[in-house]
Structure formats: structure tokens, C-alpha cells
């Protein structure tokens, strides 16, 4: 009897936790569909929306571009030097360039760009939206739900520009950093000489075959979607739309971070399987 009495509360807690998990992921998929639909809608790019969208794109990318390029250049210099010295000591200097390109350009740079944009832009934006909504709800009179914002208008003016800025920032930072790393790899391995350019381009071209190039572009694309959409999804829906959101208010940023990191790791694992299996 005691076993059955203690079993039912455990099952109830498990059921409630499962419903919270399923609800959060369902809301995420809904928000992703809304963002993608807004991105292909012609009304999004009317003249009255150009200024806000362009402003978010610039503010979400320009402050991060210089710092990330400096950071990625320093890390690339250290890793390239370590790889070259290690390969030379084992008599494998001919494989140093291939190792550098595969480790840095194919794996580390896209992942670092996505996490950098998330920590600098999209995660703080999601927390900001949630705090703004909670502050508006707290300022509303007792017994009143407060002024209800139009979800379509909020999506068009606030959430879509922030999500687009995060997506574009990942694309730009990853592309610029990959090119910068390729240039640094050439200079460190061959020096300031143009005569090794033919062999360099041949090795890099052999690495970036059509399958690898497609996997890299898809990985950066899905990284950008995860970074741009996931941190903003839960702040789009209020407690009335999600009955389980009230207990998650205190851990909003942490829950979004864990969810985003999980998706990013799944994308990285899928790309590794595509490249090496």
C-alpha cells in the first residue's frame, strides 16, 4: 500500500515534467515556423520595415565582427603553430595543412562563431524580452491582464529583426573567420611567398570536395537557425499561452541556453558523421 501511495506522486511529477518538455519544444517549433514564414513574406521587406531590420543587422554584427576576428586569429595562430611543430617533429609536415583546415575551418570556427553570437546577442535579447514582459505584467493593475500586445506586430517589429540579426551574424562571422584562418595557415606554413600558392590551393581544393562543402554550409545554416531562434522562442509566448511557463520564469535564460547547446551539439555530431563516416 505504501509503495502504491508513493508511486502516484512520482508518476504525476514525471507526467508534468514530460508535458513541460513537450510543450517547450512544440512552442519552439511554432516560433521557428513563424520566423521562417515572416522571412519569406514580402510585407516584411516593405519600406517602413527597412530601417528597423537594417539597424538590427548592423548592431548585431558590427560590434562582434572585429572582436571575433581578433579572437579567432589569435586562437588560429596558436593552433596552427602547435599543429605545424607537432607534425614536423613526427615527420608528417605534409599533412599539417590538411589537419589545420579540417580542425579549424571545418569544425572549430563555425562552432565558435555560433556560440559567440549566442552569448553576445541572442541569449541577452531573449532575457531582455522576458524581463520586459514580466515588468509589464507586474505594472498592470491587480486583477487586470494588462494591455495585450499584438503577437503579429511584436513578431514583425521585435522578434524577427533580432532573429535575423543573429542568423546573419553567424553567417558573416563564420565566413570572414574561415577566410582569415586560411590566409593565416598559408602565411605560417609557407611564409610570404607566392610560389606555394598552387600546392596550397590544390590541398585545400581536395579537402573542400562538393560533399564537405555542402556539409559545412548546411552546418553553418543550421547553427545560425539554432542561435537566432531558440533563445527568443520562449520569450515570445506568455504564461497564458503556456500554462507551464510560470514555474520556468526564474530559469528562463538557463533553460534556453541548455536547449540551444543541445541542438548545436546534435548538429555538430551530425556534421562529424557526414564528414568522417
Q: What is the pTM of this model?
A: 0.86
- Whether the pLDDT of residue 4 is over 50: the answer is yes
How would residue 40 be classed by pLDDT, with cut points 50, 70 and 90? confident
> pLDDT: is 38 or 237 the higher one?
38
Q: Is residue 184 part of a domain?
A: yes
Q: Rounded to an integer, what distance in angstroms lies between the CA atom of residue 168 and that of residue 162?
A: 10
Which alpha helices (H) appear in 90-209, and where do they start and end?
96-100, 109-117, 123-139, 151-154, 160-190, 197-207
| Spatial contact of 238 and 245, defined as CB atoms under 8 Å apart | yes
Please write the tens of the pLDDT for every residue from 115-134: 999 998 888 888 888 777 76
What average pLDDT does range 60-86 have in this prediction?
Answer: 91
More confidently predicted of 252 and 210: 210
Residue 243 placed within a domain: yes
Burial of 104 (0-12, 13-18, 19+ CB in 10 A): buried
CA distance 256 to 31: 14
Q: What percent of the chain has pLDDT over 70?
A: 85
CA dist 117 and 228 (Å) reads 9
Determine contact, residues 220/264, Cβ cutoff 8 Å: no
What's the pLDDT score for residue 256? 80
- Judge whether 97 and 106 are in contact, CB under 8 Å: no
* 197-243 pLDDT per residue, tens: 999 999 999 999 999 999 999 999 999 999 999 988 877 875 444 44
Q: Considering its fold, how many domains does the chain have in total? A: 1
Of 46 and 222, more confident: 222
Tell whether 233 is covered by a domain. yes
The answer to whether 161 and 45 have CB atoms below 8 angstroms apart is no
| Domain boundaries, position 192 | 50-139+148-276
Decide if 43 is inside a domain.
no
The mean pLDDT of the chain is: 83
More confident residue, 75 or 9: 75
Domain contains 167: yes
Evaluate whether residue 20 is within a structural domain: no
Contact 173, 113 (CB under 8 A): yes
Please, what is the Cα angle at 223 between 104 and 17, to 5 degrees?
A: 125
Does the pLDDT of residue 276 top 50, yes or no?
Answer: yes
Amino acid at each position: 500500500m505504501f509503495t502504491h501511495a508513493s508511486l502516484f506522486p512520482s508518476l504525476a511529477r514525471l507526467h508534468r515534467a514530460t508535458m513541460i518538455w513537450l510543450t517547450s519544444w512544440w512552442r519552439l517549433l511554432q516560433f521557428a515556423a513563424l520566423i521562417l514564414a515572416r522571412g519569406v513574406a514580402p510585407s516584411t521587406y516593405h519600406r517602413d520595415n527597412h530601417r528597423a531590420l537594417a539597424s538590427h543587422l548592423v548592431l548585431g554584427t558590427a560590434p562582434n565582427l572585429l572582436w571575433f576576428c581578433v579572437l579567432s586569429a589569435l586562437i588560429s595562430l596558436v593552433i596552427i603553430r602547435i599543429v605545424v611543430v607537432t607534425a614536423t617533429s613526427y615527420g608528417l609536415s605534409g599533412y599539417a595543412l590538411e589537419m589545420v583546415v579540417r580542425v579549424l575551418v571545418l569544425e572549430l570556427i563555425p562552432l565558435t562563431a555560433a556560440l559567440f553570437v549566442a552569448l553576445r546577442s541572442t541569449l541577452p535579447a531573449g532575457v531582455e524580452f522576458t524581463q520586459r514582459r514580466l515588468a509589464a505584467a507586474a505594472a498592470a493593475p491587480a486583477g487586470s491582464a494588462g494591455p495585450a500586445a499584438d503577437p503579429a506586430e511584436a513578431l514583425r517589429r521585435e522578434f524577427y529583426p533580432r532573429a535575423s540579426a543573429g542568423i546573419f551574424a553567424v553567417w558573416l562571422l563564420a565566413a570572414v573567420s574561415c577566410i582569415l584562418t586560411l590566409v593565416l595557415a598559408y602565411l605560417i606554413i609557407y611564409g610570404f611567398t607566392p610560389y606555394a600558392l598552387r600546392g596550397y590551393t590544390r590541398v585545400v581544393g581536395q579537402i573542400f570536395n562538393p560533399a564537405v562543402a555542402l556539409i559545412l554550409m548546411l552546418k553553418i545554416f543550421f547553427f545560425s537557425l539554432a542561435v537566432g531562434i531558440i533563445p527568443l522562442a520562449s520569450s515570445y509566448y506568455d504564461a497564458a499561452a503556456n500554462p507551464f511557463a510560470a514555474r520556468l520564469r526564474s530559469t528562463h535564460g538557463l533553460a534556453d541556453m541548455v536547449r540551444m547547446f543541445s541542438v548545436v551539439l546534435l548538429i555538430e555530431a551530425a556534421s562529424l558523421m557526414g564528414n568522417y563516416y
